[in-house]
Amino acid sequence: MFTFPQETNTAYVKLTPKRVDFGAITVCLRTITDLNRNHALFSLSATPDHNAFLIFKPTTDGIQIHVHQGQTETFGGEDYKVNTWHSICSTWDSVTGVVQLWLDNKPFIRKYVGGARIRNPSVIIGQEQDSHGGGFDKTQSFVGMISDVHMWDYTLSACEIQEYMLDRNLTPGNVLNWKALDYRTYGRVLTEQKTTCSCTE
């Protein structure tokens, strides 16, 4: 689990993907925060598009998925509570141009964003990239914890996403695999094992 304990433009985790050319993407992660302002949940930049694939929580209602520069869809009406663990997945396919979001095992409608193949990615969590690999703004930084990050270079089926949401056996990401993650932390980021406990009186 990665913990981002303060608002800053210097704390982030750079993830090294196993593949660098995508015609489709699925990203899944779990997150908890108390933020009520804009913040990035997953930032993938590619030249020349710094928002090649971005999962973003704005101050207003909804979760935004950005695919390439200027192509954004907002999925509204979600039950995104602060100080609560949430499981989030998003898929995108360059052939159909369709993007979809799942939040806590709830699918949202599919929406069209278009988009071409994505190449030479820079993948970062904790910050939103306004340039390839940088351009961070602390007012868009993430504060909280993120865990179980996976990425695939194809769109998972609804059943496969449900397996992730329910924390069952899942084929790990072939681009980013949480259990074998290649990463580097920068700034004040804590790494620790995510644990759950049951207490009895």
Neighbours of 166 (CB within 10 A): 11
Domain ranges within the chain, ordered by starting residue? 2-186
Q: What is the pLDDT of residues 121-180, one digit of tens each?
A: 999 999 999 999 999 999 999 999 999 999 999 999 999 999 999 988 889 999 999 999
Q: What is the pLDDT of residues 33-63, one digit of tens each?
A: 999 999 999 999 998 788 999 999 998 889 9
In Å, what is the CA distance from 94 to each residue of 21, 26, 46, 90, 123? 12, 12, 15, 14, 19
What pLDDT, on a 0 to 100 scale, did the predictor assign at position 197? 53
Pick the CATH number of 2-186 from 2.40.170.20, 2.60.120.200, 3.30.360.10, 3.30.1330.60: 2.60.120.200
